[in-house]
């Protein structure tokens, strides 16, 4: 199969897979909640930040610590503060701050995840979908071109090998279709 035919077949397959849907991906998030109340807010935030394509799972044994309150006392207009204690990052939330705890935790979780404050599902897909092959913050036809240029190839570290199995094939095309949306 020559390159033009292969790319045409891949484009048609992408369109079909976009209509049919595919498998979801999960991202482990390392944050240590400092109290049950913060853990509930954090789990809720991660659920809200997730999409149908990307889910976030809390791994509470590592990462920065999120906790309610701290010393010295907060100014009333401060939502949270981040500091380093003993070489570890600690995020303290103002118990009497201008935002409810759930909203404050969601904002900080978005920061930890490298997402904008008002992250959209497209932001999440672009950051965690693995399909932004040229790392420009968008999943678009430029990324699709990279995938199709490597379609059918085998080897380690190939651009477009989204599932890391050493080949760029239909499985990678299926994964890409989960994160690409038509303009």
Q: Where are the domains of the chain?
A: 3-23+129-179, 31-119
Residue 24: the pLDDT is: 43
Average pLDDT over residues 61-74: 94
For residues 133 and 168, give the distance between their C-alpha atoms in angstroms, rounded to a whole number: 13
Query: Please, what is the average pLDDT of the chain?
Result: 85
Distances (CA, A) of 5 to 8, 12, 124, 142, 151: 5, 11, 33, 18, 11
Q: Is residue 145 within a helix (H) or strand (E), and if so which, with residue range?
A: helix 141-150
* 3-23+129-179 maps to CATH 3.40.50.20: no
Residue 102: the pLDDT is: 97
How many Cβ atoms sit within 10 Å of the Cβ of residue 131? Answer: 24
Tens-place pLDDT, residues 3-29:
666 666 555 555 544 444 443 467 788
Average pLDDT over residues 131-143: 82
Average pLDDT over residues 82-101: 95
């Amino acid at each position: 199969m020559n390159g033009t035919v292969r790319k045409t077949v891949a484009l048609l397959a992408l369109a079909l897979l976009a209509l049919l849907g595919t498998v979801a991906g999960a991202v482990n998030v390392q944050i240590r909640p400092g109290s049950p109340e913060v853990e509930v807010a954090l789990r809720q935030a991660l659920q809200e930040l997730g999409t149908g394509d990307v889910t976030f799972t809390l791994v509470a044994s590592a990462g920065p610590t999120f906790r309610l309150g701290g010393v010295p006392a907060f100014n009333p207009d401060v939502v949270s503060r981040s500091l380093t204690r003993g070489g570890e990052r600690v995020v303290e939330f103002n118990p009497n701050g201008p935002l409810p705890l759930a909203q404050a935790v969601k904002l900080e979780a978005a920061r930890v995840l490298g997402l904008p404050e008002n992250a959209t599902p497209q932001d999440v897909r672009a950051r965690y979908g693995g399909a932004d092959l040229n790392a420009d913050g968008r999943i678009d036809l430029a990324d699709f071109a990279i995938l199709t240029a490597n379609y059918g190839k085998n080897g380690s570290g190939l651009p477009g090998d989204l599932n890391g199995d050493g080949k760029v094939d239909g499985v990678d095309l299926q994964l890409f279709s989960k994160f690409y949306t038509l303009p």
